[in-house]
Amino acid sequence: QNVDITPREAVRRIGDELSVLCKVPYPIDSCRMTVGTTSYRLIPDNLQGDVVYAGQGLKAGECGALIKNIKEEWNGNITCVLPPPSGSIELVGTMRLLVARAPGVPILNSPQQPSFMDGDKFVAQCVVPNGRPAAKITWFLGSEELLHGVHQPVVTSEPGSDLQTISQNVSRTLTDEDDAKKLVCRAEHEALEKPMEVTRQLHVQYPPKRQESGPITIFGLKLGAEGRLNVTVRANPKPNAEWSVGDQVLIAPRQAGEITALEPLLLGNGYYNVTLILARITKEDVDRTYYLRVDNGLGREEFAVRISTMDEPAGVELDTGAIVGIVVAVLILLVAVFLAVFAFATDRWCFAGRSHRTDIPDGADSEAPLPPHDDIKGSENPSHDHGDYISNGDTKHPEKKPDTAV
């Protein structure tokens, strides 16, 4: 006979409560439960103490306990002892209680170099020591959880200790998008009020990268007014800027006459604003193409920039109602085409009578002409003139009768 015990395993913090139920399919007259090193005789009417009876009664075969104010020393097995249905050998059921113990501070192991290059392989390890049970590790890069490149965790413990240390690796090919982001190892545990974190700021160097392809046109400038040619570029480290205006080459920062090339301005997250100022725009300026070259030692990017006194063309934007209308119209068109094809194939509706089929007796000439329409429909047309016919050779002509005087 087996004892049904629930739960089989539980994790509780110090001071929490736990309900354990042992059950057999026959009435019992006694119930004992061992918690830690102490054996408790549980009586349904005695509800005093930290371990008291809980259940539907001994007659229902239930030996349950409500364990209050869990203590550190209660970590381990909890055993219930019930009398057998016959004989003298008592029945025993056992469950495992893990009294949660908070782990130590997480440790982040990673390469010691201060910065990395675009395309470098990066490996880091997070270790959360001495928890009961093992902590749970979650990786983040910036505000996004890392799901790819996360290895299986490894749980170890010292001989003779039930405390567990968990470690987990993460590997990643770094890109410019990873620059200035924080790599976060977050440790969660039942004994912690809030997660613990350890972080490392990533610094990734990469050549200048343009934000849009092809030539750049700056709209909305006015003749006779100041004009600013702004180009946004992403780079780390900071790029140098060189403008070519006709025969002039301006390495920022520099001013030549009415043209000023400003030093690249950091906008944040590796974005720089590269600006050329024209003090007074002329028609010649509008007709000219300006060339910008940015270089930070890791690579270079070149831009062709033009200016326009016209307003920037508005993009075609459709609201939700217009999109729904287009979809409905397309569906109606498809249904109409389907119905037309169906009617044509089955000689229905406006295609009825498109062809005529006549049953031809076996052995008849399949190329014989169809009978005249009047011969087919004559019996159905009461207004048809059935006059006498005069035979002339093979042709019959209706005989005209003389008018009769009245």
For domain 4-99, say whether CATH 2.60.40.10 is its number. yes
Give DSSP secondary structure letters for 151-217. PPPEEEE-TT---EEEEEEEEEE--GGGTTPEEEEEEE-TT-SS-EEEEEE--EEEEEEESS-S-EE
From CA 62, how far away is CA 25, in angstroms rounded? 9
From CA 140, how far away is CA 172, in angstroms rounded? 12
Write the CB contacts of 123 (distance below 8 Å, at least 6 apart in sequence): 110, 111, 169, 170, 171, 172
User: How is domain 208-307 classified at the CATH fold level?
Assistant: Immunoglobulin-like (2.60.40)
116 with 204: CB under 8 angstroms? yes
> What pLDDT was estimated at residue 341?
80
Q: Count of CB atoms within 10 A of residue 214's CB? A: 8
Return the structure tokens found at 64: 């349950």
> What pLDDT was estimated at residue 213?
85
| Mean pLDDT in order along the chain per 10 residues (406 residues) | 93 96 96 96 92 96 96 96 93 97 97 95 98 97 96 96 96 96 97 96 96 89 94 96 95 94 95 96 93 96 93 58 70 82 73 52 44 42 40 42 40
51 with 67: CB under 8 angstroms? yes
Return the structure tokens found at 297: 């030692």
185 with 108: CB under 8 angstroms? yes
**SS3 breakdown of the chain: % helix, strand, coil, rounded to 5?**
15, 40, 45
From CA 244, how far away is CA 251, in angstroms rounded? 9
Q: Please report, for residues 29, 128, 237, 289, the alpha-carbon distance to residue 230 in angstroms, rounded to integers and kept in the order given.
A: 89, 49, 20, 14
For the chain, the domains span 4-99, 107-202, 208-307
CA dihedral sign of residues 327, 333, 337, 338: positive
> What pLDDT was estimated at residue 353?
62
∠ CA 220-222-225, rounded to 5°: 130
The helix (run of H) or strand (run of E) holding residue 322 is helix 320-346
From CA 264, how far away is CA 403, in angstroms rounded? 115
Kindly report the length of the chain: 406
34 with 90: CB under 8 angstroms? no
End-to-end CA distance of the chain: 128
Prior bond of 84 cis (ω within 30°) = no
Return the structure tokens found at 281: 């725009």
From CA 275, how far away is CA 291, in angstroms rounded? 12
pTM of structure: 0.68
Cα–Cα nearest to 45, from 53, 55, 33? 53
Q: Which CATH class is domain 107-202?
A: mainly beta
Do 107-202 and 208-307 show the same overall fold?
A: yes
